[in-house]
A = this chain, B = another copy of it.
Amino acid sequence: MANIRDVARAAGVGIGTVSRALNDSGYVEAGKKEKIRRIAKELNYRPSELSRSFVQKKSGLVGIVLPDVSFPFYGAFLKYAELELNHIGYKTLVCNTLGVQKRVSDTLDLIEAGSLDGMIINTDVTREEIERMKGMPVVSFERVLAKEIPMVASDHIKGGQIAAKLLKENGCKNVMILGARFATKVHAENRIKECRRILEQSGIQVTAVEINGAFLSYPFIEEMISQYLDMYSRIDGIFTEDVEAYCCLMQAKKRGIYVPRDLKIVGYDGNEMTRMIDPQVTTIAQDVPLLARTCVEVLAKKIAKEKVDAHYYIPVKLLQGGTTV
């Protein structure tokens, strides 16, 4: 007797699609569903009761919960995650939390109700929400939640090392590290810690400042950076994220500070926009397509109740630009 893999292979679709088609338990295009059912019949495939009871729970829908999809890094992540989910037969439900806590618990309710098969999350959450998530097919993108909840993140420790090396080589003596503070720990904090550790070891003065990450808006970021540059006027190097780096560039120009001669700026993320402005921003690029693909792959394993690792780290790389020498 054929198994589900045989049917999937013969129909040229994924196993998930076969499950949904045969169980009417999620979305499959009408023509494709008919084809799969015909092939399953021809191959004499009969789903076991066990697999049937499992797949019948499926909605074919996965949630992606992010702080604000209009930010370049989150928008890019959503794009690639949606494409990867589509590739394995899932539709994507999206949720911008913008710091509104209720939106996370709403999404967890959907999973409990069987309206969502799983979730990829990168927002602030409460302790109670972490407890609920432990038993659910959830993947954390970037947030350090609990050992039961797998995390996918860039190798931020390496990112911090690259930044520190570059700022040292650029002769910086007084560096500001500007990051975002979140209520729930982000793995990205490690890039700041690591960069700071290395710089201080080398006798470089470090001022670490934090912007509240839950209410990010461009005018707010600009205002904060303006204030910091006034307060710490003697800094000669900045390590921050790309969006903040644009603001630093603009504020430096307003103050007659010449970049990179008087001030070196190292961004983080590698947004495409860093390549399109002049000077291009020297930045440490996260591999967004690979982050998204890994989140989706790990989530698919969680949904299938397969074993997963606690952490997945994705390499980062330096993109040289005109804000360092």
Copies of this chain, count: 2
A1 at the interface (CB under 8 A from B): no
- Quick one: closest B residue to A61, CB to CB? B93
Chain B neighbourhood of A92, CB < 8 A = 93-95
Point out which of A83, A222, A249 has the most chain B C-beta atoms below 10 A from its C-beta.
A83
Q: How far is the CA of A186 from the CA of B103 in the complex (A)?
A: 34
Chain B neighbourhood of A243, CB < 8 A = 276
Q: Are A83 and B98 in contact (CB under 8 A)?
A: yes
Q: Are A277 and B275 in contact (CB under 8 A)?
A: no
Q: Are A70 and B61 in contact (CB under 8 A)?
A: no
Q: How far is the CA of A72 from the CA of B79 in the complex (A)?
A: 12
A306 at the interface (CB under 8 A from B): no
Binds B, one of A37-45, A105-113, A233-241: A105-113
Q: How far is the CA of A27 from the CA of B105 in the complex (A)?
A: 13
Chain B neighbourhood of A76, CB < 8 A = 70
A91 at the interface (CB under 8 A from B): yes
Chain B neighbourhood of A273, CB < 8 A = 246, 273
A144 at the interface (CB under 8 A from B): no
Q: How far is the CA of A93 from the CA of B76 in the complex (A)?
A: 17
Chain B neighbourhood of A222, CB < 8 A = 276
Q: Are A78 and B69 in contact (CB under 8 A)?
A: yes
Q: Are A96 and B69 in contact (CB under 8 A)?
A: no
B interface footprint on A168-204 (CB within 8 Å = 1, 0 otherwise): 0000000000000000000000000000000000000
Residues of A participating in the B interface, judged by any CB pair closer than 8 Å: 27, 29-30, 61, 68-72, 75-76, 78-79, 82-83, 86, 91-96, 98, 103, 105-106, 109-110, 112-113, 115, 218, 222, 243, 246-247, 249-250, 253, 272-273, 275-278
